[in-house]
């Protein structure tokens, strides 16, 4: 059996014909396995959705109760039989509830990793290495210029700036699901004990993280605060809010942005960022290449991002590799669709 | 090196002057000698060593990485030094025990032979992280380009001891990196370093802008008037060093030494003095416009051809010192008399007197300002920006004291243009659309269309900024990153009254015309965009100027 007989890449996502399901489809389908709650991977309108309990909860928060016909919560490591195909979900370390999907059929093991990172994150279960024959990887940061290093150093840089400019507000742009909460948790781990303020668009997911037992300390809504009291504080907001009318309520704000893209200066400048923080929820170049090697896969499919460089690298290592042209992944980060959810 | 790299990194992103000052001051305060001194030298452009070339850096990375991956990375990042800094392979086996210090780097660079340079740079890169490597590559390839002037760095240093920047400026020419004596003084650990410099910079006296209403309260007889030249203000200083040799230097108005760019002028300074004057280009006895001066300023290499084509000239208007005598405590009238005698004695074509304008009433001066050529300005109209008024009894006081000196500029040129694009500003303006591209009408392929003629980002009040911002947000027709295209049709759009100081031909602009110093003069909410000015209007203004220039220069230069 060839891998393509088990999983077929289509423009709207990877389809498992023998199992009768899609993984992270970008169009409505009968049955979908969803790797995580970011809106480019988790869309509303499928017949049935199988995902971790956390991912289902997050989809419900974002799309309402009727986001799918049926849902089924699946635990990490639990094995399902879907029309003769063995399927299990394993932590991807990307955001709360994120998974890789392991599919086994006719002795062939394929892992679709979704988005993943192989470094510590206090807000989600660590990435699990799953050995396989074919590894489907993302390539958001698939260029050797992306090396993220320890995110703790970036948090220290932020706190240093807060100490140096106590009369200014520090606005930290962070994706509303995952990055925002990770930044808050890391600030707490670094000993920052002042209240952290959030934009209204970050609220529901943040409260959800807290309800899952993730300690984020005192988190307040910006809505209730006056301008003067925001001086010297850290405010977490969706990246697009930084250039919005919304940002006018802060005293002489410092524009920070927590993202792997901040490694490249032009990217930071385009956004008018003055304090770039290289904090990523995706694996960097070293993480991608080390993971590919460690899975033992002899074949690699690259889904989205900088496919060319990663495919080239695989080929130089004697691995069979090909890009998958799936339309629509990576959009959450690029356009940050969630910011229209609430002005606050 | 790591801390210095962090500072450069932060400065490169920070647009605010005060924030930059704070960042530099904090670095200088918390970094030990001599490291901070070398950093100050780097920021003030006081380091001299042979710079590494881009080709060498490229060769280093090609030896260490897959060429296909390098090509893809370079294509994505777009900057060679940055690409190399980011993708330099960190090999733990080669990593030295400690990262190089800035002091190591500077000292090694000043002694190292060219052949050893590539291997040394590679060793340093092995010991640094991304930001460290980026800073190192900026340093060794020359030109930090992080938006920090020497003046700003000195101001930050001065703040360590609660001093005024001018106090550091006065000492500066006598100081050498890593400035141990300067920091010891600023931190109150030692006496002020004595300035043994034979040709020091003296902080300049600046003028306030005058309106006609300011003149009403002043007595014409108390003032002397000169032309305000459209060149760059400089200080030309010469003095004898301890061996009795004459040292001559040229400074910009901020105290940056520009001696090396103007050898033709510096060699004319044969007597000890300190002259305050205007640097201009003089061709066959005629002062040239600022556009011509700019062509010389833009060239890096000072070649014999450049010196011949763009001969530098100093038009002197004040004498701050003569020999060992400091004249700044004398009234302007006296200094002027001393200056006239001095220039006669110096007797060099390259240095002449800025003539006085004869006037007995404000009315006469107003007429002279409106038409400099008929009032005796020997130059092309473009080289005169207006008039300077100086009280006869004014002492030379550094800074901008109000009252003794006034600059009274000529009325600007004005047109009505239509707002076409708006871009978000920085810092406090970061959420406002505050940079405006505007255009005028012309006949295009498809009938009447607007062609952009300039960009302005000041001249309006805070209240007007809010109004324009609101207009931009409500009338956006397209977006390109931080830029919005704003509706600009004959009946829908915003007319801006734009004031500017001059026009020149430009191949960079689609309209073929570039404005000098444009700013928003007024918002014309009342005017329909269809009635804004046309490109022909600007063409006529430009042709009038060119005609005047040609006539005045005898037709030798266009």
- What distance lies between CA B405 and its chain's CA centroid? 22
A254 Cα to chain B: minimum distance (Å):
8
Grade residue A249 by pLDDT with cuts at 50, 70 and 90.
confident
What is the model's pTM? Answer: 0.72
B143 Cα to chain A: minimum distance (Å):
17
Of A143, A146, A165, Cβ closest to residue B19: A165
Q: What are A218-244's pLDDT values in tens digits?
A: 999 998 888 889 999 999 999 888 877
pLDDT at A196 over 90: yes
pLDDT more than 70, % of chain A: 94
DSSP assignment letter at B205: B
Say yes or no for a CB contact (<8 Å) between A306 and B72: yes
Q: Calculate mean pLDDT across residues B196-202.
A: 86
User: From the CB of residue B145, how many other CB atoms can be counted at a distance below 10 Å?
Assistant: 8
Q: What are B490-544's pLDDT values in tens digits?
A: 989 999 999 987 888 887 778 888 888 899 988 988 888 998 999 988 888 887 7
User: Nearest residue on chain B to A269, judged by CA atoms?
Assistant: B13
CA distances from A257 to B268, B372, B408, B497 (A): 55, 54, 46, 38
Among B228, B341, B390, B510, the one annotated catalytic: B228
Q: Which range has the top average pLDDT, B81-90, B167-176, B287-296, B420-429?
A: B81-90
User: Are A342 and A200 in contact, with CB atoms under 8 Å apart?
Assistant: yes
Grade residue B324 by pLDDT with cuts at 50, 70 and 90.
confident
d(CA B323, CA B326): 8
Compute the mean pLDDT over every residue in chain B, rounded to the nearest whole number: 88
Grade residue B551 by pLDDT with cuts at 50, 70 and 90.
very low
**Sign of CA pseudo-dihedral B124, B126, B131, B133:** positive
pLDDT at B550 over 70: no
Any A CB within 8 A of B352 CB: no
d(CA B434, CA B439): 16
What pLDDT is attached to residue B557? Answer: 31
Say yes or no for a CB contact (<8 Å) between B13 and A268: yes
B263 Cα to chain A: minimum distance (Å):
39
User: Nearest residue on chain B to A311, judged by CA atoms?
Assistant: B69
Grade residue B402 by pLDDT with cuts at 50, 70 and 90.
confident
Of B10, B23, B77, Cβ closest to residue A145: B77
Say yes or no for a CB contact (<8 Å) between A274 and B72: no
pLDDT more than 70, % of chain B: 95
Give the per-residue SS3 of B498-546. Answer: EEECEEEECCCCCCCEEEECCEEEEEECCCCHHHCCEHHHHHHHHHHHH
What pLDDT is attached to residue B547? Answer: 59
Q: Is B305 annotated in the active site? A: no
Going by their DSSP bridges, the two strands A254-258 and A275-277 should be labelled as parallel
Alpha helices (runs of H) in chain A, residue ranges in sequence order: 3-6, 53-63, 151-164, 179-189, 200-211, 265-270, 285-295, 307-316, 331-335
The lowest-confidence range among A280-294, B133-147, B230-244, B425-439 is: B425-439
User: Are B153 and B40 in contact, with CB atoms under 8 Å apart?
Assistant: yes
What pLDDT is attached to residue B548? Answer: 53
What pLDDT is attached to residue B105? Answer: 94
Q: Calculate mean pLDDT across residues B298-319.
A: 92
Grade residue A71 by pLDDT with cuts at 50, 70 and 90.
very high
User: Nearest residue on chain A to B27, judged by CA atoms?
Assistant: A164
Higher-confidence position of B481 and B287: B287
Q: What are B427-480's pLDDT values in tens digits?
A: 567 678 899 999 999 998 888 999 999 999 888 888 889 889 889 988 988 887
Q: What are B77-111's pLDDT values in tens digits?
A: 888 889 999 999 977 777 777 889 999 999 999 88
Say yes or no for a CB contact (<8 Å) between B22 and A165: yes
Report the residue of A141, A142, A144, A147 to disrupt the B interface, i.e. the one with the largest count of B CBs within 10 Å: A144
CA-only gyration radius of chain A, Å? 20
Q: Calculate mean pLDDT across residues A211-217.
A: 97
Name every chain B residue with its beta carbon within 8 A of the beta carbon of A242: 430-431
Grade residue B253 by pLDDT with cuts at 50, 70 and 90.
confident
Of A145, A149, A275, Cβ closest to residue B76: A145
What pLDDT is attached to residue B25? Answer: 97
User: Are B119 and B63 in contact, with CB atoms under 8 Å apart?
Assistant: no
Q: Which two tokens stand for residue A183?
A: 């930044």
Q: What are B179-198's pLDDT values in tens digits?
A: 999 999 999 999 998 767 88
**Chain B 86-115, CB below 8 Å of chain A: which residues?**
86-87, 89-90
What pLDDT is attached to residue A334? Answer: 40
User: Nearest residue on chain B to A276, judged by CA atoms?
Assistant: B13
What pLDDT is attached to residue A177? Answer: 96
Q: What is the ipTM of this complex?
A: 0.91
Is residue A99 within a helix (H) or strand (E), and if so which, with residue range? strand A99-105
CA distances from A208 to A81, A312, A344, B275 (A): 31, 41, 18, 72
What pLDDT is attached to residue A341? Answer: 31
Higher-confidence position of B155 and B424: B155
Q: Calculate mean pLDDT across residues B246-273.
A: 91
Grade residue B425 by pLDDT with cuts at 50, 70 and 90.
confident
Nearest Cα to Cα of residue B325 among B342, B300, B311, B312: B342
User: Are B197 and B63 in contact, with CB atoms under 8 Å apart?
Assistant: no
pLDDT at A337 over 50: no
Alpha helices (runs of H) in A218-275, residue ranges in sequence order: 265-270
**Chain A 100-159, CB below 8 Å of chain B: which residues?**
143-147, 149, 157
The lowest-confidence range among A154-163, A316-325, B2-11, B286-295 is: B286-295
d(CA A221, CA A200): 7
pLDDT at B558 over 60: no
pLDDT at A134 over 90: yes
pLDDT at A52 over 90: yes
User: Are B12 and A265 in contact, with CB atoms under 8 Å apart?
Assistant: yes
pLDDT at A7 over 90: yes
- For residue A46, the cross-strand partners are A68
Grade residue A343 by pLDDT with cuts at 50, 70 and 90.
very low
Q: What is the DSSP string of A162-228?
A: HHH-TTS-EEEE--TTTHHHHHHHHHHHTT--S-EEE-HHHHHHHHHHHHTT-----EEEGGG--TG
What pLDDT is attached to residue B382? Answer: 64
pLDDT at B27 over 90: yes
Q: Which range has the top average pLDDT, A337-341, B167-171, B274-278?
A: B274-278
Report the residue of A139, A141, A143, A166 to disrupt the B interface, i.e. the one with the largest count of B CBs within 10 Å: A143
pLDDT at A198 over 90: yes
User: Nearest residue on chain B to A168, judged by CA atoms?
Assistant: B19
Going by their DSSP bridges, the two strands B312-322 and B325-326 should be labelled as antiparallel
Of A247, A274, A308, Cβ closest to residue B14: A274
Q: Calculate mean pLDDT across residues A43-55.
A: 97
Name every chain A residue with its beta carbon within 8 A of the beta carbon of B66: 312-313, 316
* E-state strands within B362-501: 384-391, 405-409, 413-424, 433-444, 447-456, 476-480, 483-486, 495-500
Say yes or no for a CB contact (<8 Å) between A255 and B65: no
What pLDDT is attached to residue A157? Answer: 95
Any A CB within 8 A of B480 CB: no
pLDDT at B295 over 90: no
A98-116 burial, b at 16+ Cβ within 10 Å, e below that, comes to bbbbbbbbeebbbbbbbbb
Q: Is B517 left (phi over 0), alpha (psi -120 to 50) or beta?
A: left
What pLDDT is attached to residue B24? Answer: 97
User: Are A277 and A157 in contact, with CB atoms under 8 Å apart?
Assistant: yes
Grade residue B552 by pLDDT with cuts at 50, 70 and 90.
very low
């Amino acid at each position: 059996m060839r891998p393509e007989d088990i999983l077929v890449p289509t423009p709207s996502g990877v389809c498992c014909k023998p199992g009768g399901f899609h993984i992270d489809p970008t169009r409505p389908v009968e049955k979908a396995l969803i790797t995580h709650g970011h809106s480019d991977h988790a869309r509303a309108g499928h017949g049935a959705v199988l995902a971790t309990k956390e991912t289902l909860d997050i989809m419900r928060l974002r799309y309402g109760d009727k986001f799918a016909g049926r849902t089924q919560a699946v635990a990490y490591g639990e094995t399902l039989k879907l029309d003769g195909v063995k399927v299990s979900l394993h932590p991807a370390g990307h955001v709360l509830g994120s998974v890789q999907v392991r599919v086994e059929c006719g002795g062939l093991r394929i892992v679709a990793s979704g988005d993943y990172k192989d470094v510590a994150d206090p807000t989600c279960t660590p990435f699990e290495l799953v050995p396989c024959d074919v590894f489907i990887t993302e390539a958001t940061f698939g260029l050797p210029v992306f090396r993220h290093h320890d995110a703790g150093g970036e948090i220290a840089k932020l706190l240093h700036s807060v100490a140096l400019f106590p009369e200014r507000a520090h606005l930290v742009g962070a994706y509303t699901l995952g990055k925002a909460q990770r930044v808050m948790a890391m600030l707490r781990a670094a000993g920052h004990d002042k209240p952290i303020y959030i934009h209204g668009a970050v609220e529901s997911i943040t409260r959800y993280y807290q309800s899952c037992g993730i300690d984020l300390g005192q988190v307040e809504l910006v809505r209730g605060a006056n301008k003067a009291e925001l001086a010297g504080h850290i405010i977490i907001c969706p990246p697009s809010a930084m250039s919005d009318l919304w940002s006018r309520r802060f005293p002489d704000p410092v524009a920070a942005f927590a993202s792997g893209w901040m490694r490249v200066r032009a990217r930071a400048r385009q956004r008018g960022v003055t304090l770039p923080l290289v904090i990523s929820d995706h694996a960097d170049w070293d993480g991608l290449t080390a993971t590919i090697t460690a899975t033992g896969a002899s074949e690699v499919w690259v889904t989205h991002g900088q496919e060319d460089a990663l495919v080239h690298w695989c080929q130089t290592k004697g691995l069979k590799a090909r890009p998958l042209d799936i339309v629509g992944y990576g959009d959450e980060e690029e356009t940050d669709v969630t910011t229209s959810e609430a002005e606050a | 090196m790591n801390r210095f790299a962090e500072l450069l990194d932060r400065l490169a992103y920070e647009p605010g002057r005060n924030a930059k000052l704070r960042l530099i001051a904090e670095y200088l305060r918390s970094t030990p000698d001599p490291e901070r001194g070398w950093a100050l030298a780097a920021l003030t452009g006081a380091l001299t060593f042979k710079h590494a070339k881009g080709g060498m850096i490229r060769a280093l990375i090609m030896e260490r990485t897959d060429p296909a991956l390098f090509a893809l990375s370079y294509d994505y990042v777009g900057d060679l030094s940055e690409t190399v800094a980011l993708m330099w392979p960190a090999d733990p086996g080669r990593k030295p025990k400690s990262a190089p210090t800035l002091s190591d780097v500077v000292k090694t660079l000043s002694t190292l032979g060219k052949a050893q340079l590539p291997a040394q740079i590679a060793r340093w890169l092995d010991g640094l992280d991304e930001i460290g490597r980026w800073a190192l590559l900026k340093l060794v390839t020359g030109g930090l380009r992080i938006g920090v002037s020497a003046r700003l760095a000195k101001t930050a240093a001065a703040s360590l001891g609660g001093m005024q920047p001018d106090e550091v400026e006065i000492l500066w020419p006598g100081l050498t990196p890593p400035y141990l004596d300067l920091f010891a003084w600023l931190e109150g650990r030692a006496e002020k370093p004595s300035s043994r410099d034979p040709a020091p910079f003296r902080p300049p006296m600046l003028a306030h802008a005058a309106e006609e209403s300011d003149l009403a309260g002043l007595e014409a007889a108390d003032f002397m008037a000169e032309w305000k030249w459209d060149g760059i203000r400089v200080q030309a200083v010469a003095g004898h060093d301890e061996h009795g040799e004459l040292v001559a230097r040229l400074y910009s108005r901020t105290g940056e030494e520009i001696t090396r760019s103007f050898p033709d002028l510096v060699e004319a300074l044969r007597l000890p003095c300190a002259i305050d004057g205007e640097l201009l280009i003089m061709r066959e006895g005629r002062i040239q416009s600022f556009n011509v001066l700019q062509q010389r300023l833009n060239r890096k290499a000072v070649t014999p051809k450049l010196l011949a084509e763009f001969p530098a000239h100093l038009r002197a208007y004040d004498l701050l010192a003569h020999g060992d005598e400091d004249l700044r405590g004398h009234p302007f009238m006296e200094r002027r008399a001393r200056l006239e005698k001095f220039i006669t004695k110096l007797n060099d074509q390259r240095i002449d007197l800025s003539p006085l304008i004869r006037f007995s009433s404000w009315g006469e001066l107003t007429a002279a300002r409106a038409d400099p050529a008929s009032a005796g300005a020997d130059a092309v109209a473009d080289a005169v920006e207006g008039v300077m008024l100086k009280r006869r009894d004014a002492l030379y006081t550094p800074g901008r004291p109000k009252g003794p000196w006034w600059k009274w500029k000529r009325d600007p040129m004005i047109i009505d243009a239509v707002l076409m694009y708006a871009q978000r500003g920085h810092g406090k303006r970061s959420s406002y659309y505050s940079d405006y591209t505007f255009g005028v009408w012309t006949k295009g392929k498809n009938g009447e269309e607007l062609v952009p003629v300039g960009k302005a980002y000041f001249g309006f009040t805070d209240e007007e900024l809010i109004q324009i911002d609101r207009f931009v947000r409500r009338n956006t027709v397209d977006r390109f990153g931080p830029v919005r295209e704003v509706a600009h049709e004959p009946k829908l759009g915003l007319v801006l009254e734009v004031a500017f100081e001059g026009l020149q031909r430009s191949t960079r602009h689609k309209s073929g015309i570039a404005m000098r110093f444009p700013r928003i003069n007024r918002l014309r909410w009342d005017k329909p965009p269809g009635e804004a000015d046309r490109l022909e209007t600007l063409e006529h203004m430009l042709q009038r100027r060119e005609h005047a220039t040609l006539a005045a220069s005898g037709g030798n230069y266009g």
